[in-house]
Amino acid sequence: MRNINDLSELTMEEFRELYKLTSNIIDRPEGYADSARGKVLGSLFYEPSTRTNLSFSTAMMRLGGSVMGFSDPNSSSTSKGETLKDTITMVSSYADMIVMRNPREGAAKAAALYSSVPVINAGDGGHLHPTQTLADMTTILRRRGSANHMKIGICGDLKYGRTVHSLIKFLQKFEDVQFYLIAPRELAIPEYIRRFMVEHGMQFYEVSGLEPVIPMLDVLYMTRIQKERFTSEAEYNSLKGIYCLNARKLRDAKPELLVMHPLPRVDEIAQDVDDDPRAVYFDQARYGMYARMALLLTLSRQPYRKPGKAPEGVHGCRCTNPKCVTKTEPYLPMLTVHSAEGECCAYCDKPVDAYDEPLQEEE
């Protein structure tokens, strides 16, 4: 385990180790107070964050390490036009690990190409958010004992919700998980996630109503409508507030249901749910800090490794996603992956298309 870009790349063996360490830290946090003494975490937040940023900083401090970086890109050299490649090359020569949140999809994968230390993806646009999945999995495993044999409802913004994409991909590793994907058509899961679920034979139902499915669920994962990712304010306004879980709607739910939310919540969970013992979202945030401690501790033991030359890209194709990191960092090699439905961008998972390269002018 070196870079954490997409949690589903972790083997079950690696995940079990990480979860075991997380559990040990939860049970005896004082035993780890000095375990990363002298280590430095570079924390690069190009997008606003409260929970994830504070959670990573606290996790590093609780291990005895320190944190440097920025939480406002306007205070970094990016505002002077510095490339991601240069920022990462420089920061990775100061820090022992880097955690990065960036609005461009695929940014963490791109950063890892140029880093001599492990890079952790703390959210890349609407794409993935692997450490939130660690928080989610820790919550499910601590509270339910297992993630096998469960019915999980995921409700809200499944299109732009990166925590949703990471969680779905990771749950593929477990047995007999049934998904109820609750969203209006406009906010349904992206095509590449649907394709992933079909390819892996995952059981899922796409529905638009929350109330009818609540009684059968073991886990209900609520999410906020991601206002900042909409291109039109009118579209956001037409969809905001469509789901609101409240105490009344939970009356027919199972007594052992887990109500989860990556937070921040806006209006999708009413305050009257907070005192219900089935509401675990604030515990989920705390578990996230412990899971990040386990991750930082594991990665801090990785040796410094000078990055090799970036791989050769594929010529004659480009990513079709306007939010892909390759659009703003044009020096990146165009890397692709094969999928059942064709060639996709290795950074953001969206399809690529072919284009005719301009003919080289003869001298």
Minimum distance from residue 1 beta carbon to ligand NCD (Å): 21
> Which residue type, as a one-letter code, is found at position 111?
A
Contact between 263 and ligand NCD by CB under 6 A: the answer reads: yes
Within the chain, how many helices (H) and strands (E) appear?
10, 13
Please identify, using beta-carbon distances, which residue of 134 and 352 lies nearer to ligand NCD. Answer: 134
Q: Is 336 an active-site residue?
A: no
- Read off the tokens for 337: 């992956």
Which residues in 40-99 contact ligand NCD (CB under 6 A)? 51-52
Q: Is 165 an active-site residue?
A: no
Q: Is 298 an active-site residue?
A: no
Contact between 153 and ligand NCD by CB under 6 A: the answer reads: no
8-state DSSP, 100: E
Task: Please say whether the beta carbons of 105 and 323 come within 8 A.
Answer: yes
Contact between 125 and ligand NCD by CB under 6 A: the answer reads: no
Contact between 108 and ligand NCD by CB under 6 A: the answer reads: no
Q: Is 80 an active-site residue?
A: yes
Task: Please say whether the beta carbons of 116 and 305 come within 8 A.
Answer: yes
List the one residue from 127, 129, 169, 292 that touches ligand NCD (CB under 6 A): 129
Pairing of strands 342-345, 336-339: antiparallel
Separation of alpha carbons 326 and 334, rounded Å: 8
Active site residue: 129, 151, 159, 162, which one?
Answer: 129
Give backbone dihedrals phi and psi of 109, rounded to 5 degrees, phi first: -65, -40
- Read off the tokens for 216: 């059968």
List the one residue from 163, 166, 284, 298 that touches ligand NCD (CB under 6 A): 163
Task: Please say whether the beta carbons of 242 and 184 come within 8 A.
Answer: yes
Task: Spell out, one character per residue from 317 to 346, where the chain touches ligand NCD: x when CB under 6 A holds, - when not.
Answer: ------------------------------
Catalytic residue numbers read 51-52, 80, 101, 129
Site residues for ligand NCD per CB under 6 A: 51-52, 123, 129, 132, 162-163, 224, 262-263
